[in-house]
Structure 1
Amino acid sequence: MKRQRSIGRISALAVVLGLSGSLAAVPAVADKPRAAQVRWGACPKEVVAEAAPTELQCATVPVPVDYADPGGAEIDLMISRLAGTNPDKRRGTLMLNPGGPGGSGLALPALLVARGIPASVLDSYDLIGMDTRGIGHSAPVSCGFTVDGPYITNVPPYAADDAAVTERAKVAEQVAEQCARNDRDGLLRHLTTANTARDLDRIRAALGEEKTSYLGYSYGTALGAAYASMFPERSDRIVLDSNIGDTHLDRDGMRRYALGTEETFPEFAKWAAARHDSYGLGRTPAQVRRTYLTLAERLDKAPVAGFDGNLLRQYTFGNLFKEAQYPKLAQQVQALAGGNGTAARGPRPQNATADETPPSFDNSLSVFLAVTCNDIEWPENVDTYRHGVAKDRERYPLLGAATANITPCAFWPYAPAEPPVAVNDDGPRNVLLVQNLRDAPTPHLGGKMLRQKFADRSRLLSVDDSGHGAYVLGDNPCALNTATRYLVEGRMPGEDTLCRAG
Structure 2
Amino acid sequence: MERRRRIGRGSALAVVLGLSGSLIAAPAVADAPKAPKVPQVRWGSCPEDVVAEAAPTELQCATVPVPVDYADPGSPRIDLMISRLASTKPDKRRGTLMLNPGGPGGSGLALSALLVKRGLPASVLDSYDLIGMDTRGIGHSAPVSCGFTPDGPHTANIPPYAVDDAAVVAQAKVAEQVAGQCASHDRDGLLRHLTTANTARDLDRIRAALGEEKTSYLGYSYGTALGAAYASMFPERSDRIVLDSNIGDTHLDRDGMRRYALGMEQSFPDFARWAAARHDSYGLGRTPAEVRATYFTLAERLDRTPVAGFDGNLFRQVTFALLFKEVQYPMLAQQWQTVADGDDEAVHRLLSENVAAREASSPFDNGLTVFAAVTCNDVQWPKDVDTYRKGVATDRERYPLFGAAAANITPCAFWPYAPAEPPVAVVDDGPRNVLLVQNLRDAPTPHDGGKMLRQKFGDRSRLVSVDDTGHGVYVLGDNPCALNTTTRFLVEGEMPGKDISCHAA
AA partner of residue 275 (structure 2): A
Residue 66 of structure 2 aligns to a residue in which SS? strand
Alpha-carbon contact 2:105-2:367 (below 8 Å) kept: yes
- Determine if the alignment matches structure 1 residue 341 to structure 2 residue 344: yes
Query: What residue number does 1:28 align with?
Result: none
- State the TM-score, normalized to the length of structure 2: 0.91
Residue 57 of structure 2 aligns to a residue in which SS? coil
| Distance in 2, Cα, partners of 1:36 & 1:285 | 56
| Distance in 2, Cα, partners of 1:296 & 1:429 | 47
AA partner of residue 305 (structure 1): A
Query: What residue number does 2:165 align with?
Result: 162
Residues 410 and 217 of structure 1: CA distance in aligned 2, closer, same or farther (over 3 Å): same
AA partner of residue 492 (structure 2): E
Query: What residue number does 1:487 align with?
Result: 490
Offset, 1:316: 0.5
Query: What residue number does 1:245 align with?
Result: 248
Residue 127 of structure 1 aligns to a residue in which SS? strand
Written as runs of structure 1 = structure 2, the 5 A alignment for 1:375-454 is 375-454=378-457
Written as runs of structure 1 = structure 2, the 5 A alignment for 1:65-464 is 65-344=68-347, 345-346=350-351, 349-351=354-356, 360-464=363-467
Residue 436 of structure 1 aligns to a residue in which SS? strand
Offset, 1:35: 5.0
- Determine if the alignment matches structure 1 residue 50 to structure 2 residue 53: yes
Offset, 1:305: 1.2
AA partner of residue 338 (structure 1): D
In the alignment, structure 1 segments of 5+ residues that lack a partner are 1-32
Residues 57 and 500 of structure 1: CA distance in aligned 2, closer, same or farther (over 3 Å): same
Offset, 1:341: 2.6
| Distance in 1, Cα, partners of 2:357 & 2:230 | 38
Residue 311 of structure 1 aligns to a residue in which SS? helix
4+ runs deviating over 3 angstroms: 346-353, 356-359
Residue 237 of structure 1 aligns to a residue in which SS? strand
- Determine if the alignment matches structure 1 residue 41 to structure 2 residue 59: no
Residues 215 and 351 of structure 1: CA distance in aligned 2, closer, same or farther (over 3 Å): closer
CA deviation string 1:48-106 (max 9, x = no partner): 00000000000000000000013320000000000001000001000000000000000
| Distance in 2, Cα, partners of 1:352 & 1:446 | 29
| Distance in 2, Cα, partners of 1:67 & 1:144 | 27
Percent identity over paired residues: 81
Residues 201 and 34 of structure 1: CA distance in aligned 2, closer, same or farther (over 3 Å): farther
AA partner of residue 322 (structure 1): K
| Distance in 2, Cα, partners of 1:80 & 1:302 | 48
Offset, 1:349: 4.9
AA partner of residue 272 (structure 2): A
- State the TM-score, normalized to the length of structure 1: 0.92
Kindly report the root-mean-square deviation, in angstroms, between the aligned alpha carbons of the 2 structures.
Answer: 1.4
CA deviation string 1:181-240 (max 9, x = no partner): 000000000000000000000000000000000000000000000000000000000000
- Determine if the alignment matches structure 1 residue 61 to structure 2 residue 64: yes
Query: What residue number does 1:5 align with?
Result: none
| Distance in 2, Cα, partners of 1:96 & 1:271 | 33
Offset, 1:350: 4.0
AA partner of residue 414 (structure 1): Y
Pick 1 or 2: higher relative contact order, CA cutoff 8 A, min separation 6: 2
Residues 255 and 414 of structure 1: CA distance in aligned 2, closer, same or farther (over 3 Å): same
**Range that drifts further, 62-71 or 102-111:** 62-71
Alpha-carbon contact 2:150-2:355 (below 8 Å) kept: no
AA partner of residue 99 (structure 2): L
Alpha-carbon contact 2:107-2:362 (below 8 Å) kept: no
Alpha-carbon contact 2:271-2:329 (below 8 Å) kept: yes
Alpha-carbon contact 1:109-1:127 (below 8 Å) kept: yes
Offset, 1:334: 1.1
Offset, 1:357: 7.6
CA deviation string 1:394-429 (max 9, x = no partner): 010000000000000000000000000000000000
Query: What residue number does 1:20 align with?
Result: none
Residue 78 of structure 2 aligns to a residue in which SS? strand
Alpha-carbon contact 2:435-2:495 (below 8 Å) kept: yes
Offset, 1:352: 7.9
| Distance in 2, Cα, partners of 1:352 & 1:212 | 35
Alpha-carbon contact 1:152-1:348 (below 8 Å) kept: no
**Range that drifts further, 208-217 or 305-314:** 305-314
Aligned residues: 468
Query: What residue number does 2:8 align with?
Result: none
Residue 318 of structure 1 aligns to a residue in which SS? helix
| Distance in 1, Cα, partners of 2:234 & 2:37 | 17
Residues 102 and 358 of structure 1: CA distance in aligned 2, closer, same or farther (over 3 Å): closer
| Distance in 2, Cα, partners of 1:352 & 1:452 | 38
